[in-house]
Amino acid sequence: MNYLILVRHGQSIWNLEKRFTGWVDVDLTKNGELEAEKAGNLIKNKNIEINFYYSSVQLRANKTLKIIQKVLNDNKNFVKAWQLNERHYGSLTGLNKVETAKKIGEEKVHQFRRSWDIRPEPLKKDNLYHPINIKSYKNIPDIIFPDTESLKDTYERVIKFYEKEVKKKLIKNNVLISAHGNSIRALCKYLFKLDNKEISNLEIPTGNPLIIKLNEKLEIQSSEYLDKKRAKSLLVY
């Protein structure tokens, strides 16, 4: 049996401010750092040796992973992959979710956030929040800069990377991925064979490790959130 551990980054500054973040590279809050530390301790208590680590290229996921590794006293290098980045929210990027719901309606905002294949309007390339204008994405080879994405778009890049880079590692190793709400939702859709309705109801809590036990055929044997008080339904076997 091998393990895949999925961790959404700890609370970010824009999580706290209820803003659509997407590819904007924001930092963790102090609470987010504490969530990451707690995640590390919960994983440590499982006594699982992690052989490979992956993260998106975004600061909040990188920092979460580094805090976890510090708790685990594990200084292995980890792979940073833009394909694990958060979904790009297009023209919604930077907007407050509550204020946006008042302007265009809660149903419309929910549709943008939870639908499978609906994209928000593209973000203009001269916008400060467009990925091409964000310093941390400079010099990343083969990166594709989206103007907007649906969850389906996010799914396609995440799963392509998973199948090419991660899946083979899981055959004989334990793997931890530090990523984002929507990139983890995409991966869960694939792993748990969720339909489009089920994925629309799936929420991923910040800083709460989801540990998935796999057999030699990479079939799921069990799964659980380690922080029971903040666990979400749908994925527990």
Beta strands in the chain (DSSP E): 2-8, 52-55, 79-80, 175-179, 210-214, 220-225
| Number of other residues whose CB lies within 10 A of the CB of residue 62 | 19
Q: Of 17, 33, 49, 86, which is the active-site residue? A: 86
Q: Of 9, 88, 130, 180, which is the active-site residue? A: 9
DSSP string of 89-125?
Answer: -GGGTT-BHHHHHHHH-HHHHHHHHH-SSPPPPPPPT
9 in active site: yes
Q: Tokens 């102090």 correspond to what residue?
A: 30
- 104-137 burial code (b ≥16 CB/10 A, e <16): eeeeebeebbeeeeebbeebeeeeebbbeeeeeb
Q: How far apart are the first and last CA of the chain?
A: 16
86 in active site: yes
CA distances from 23 to 81, 153, 162, 164, 184 (A): 13, 14, 19, 23, 15
Residue positions annotated with a catalytic role: 9, 86
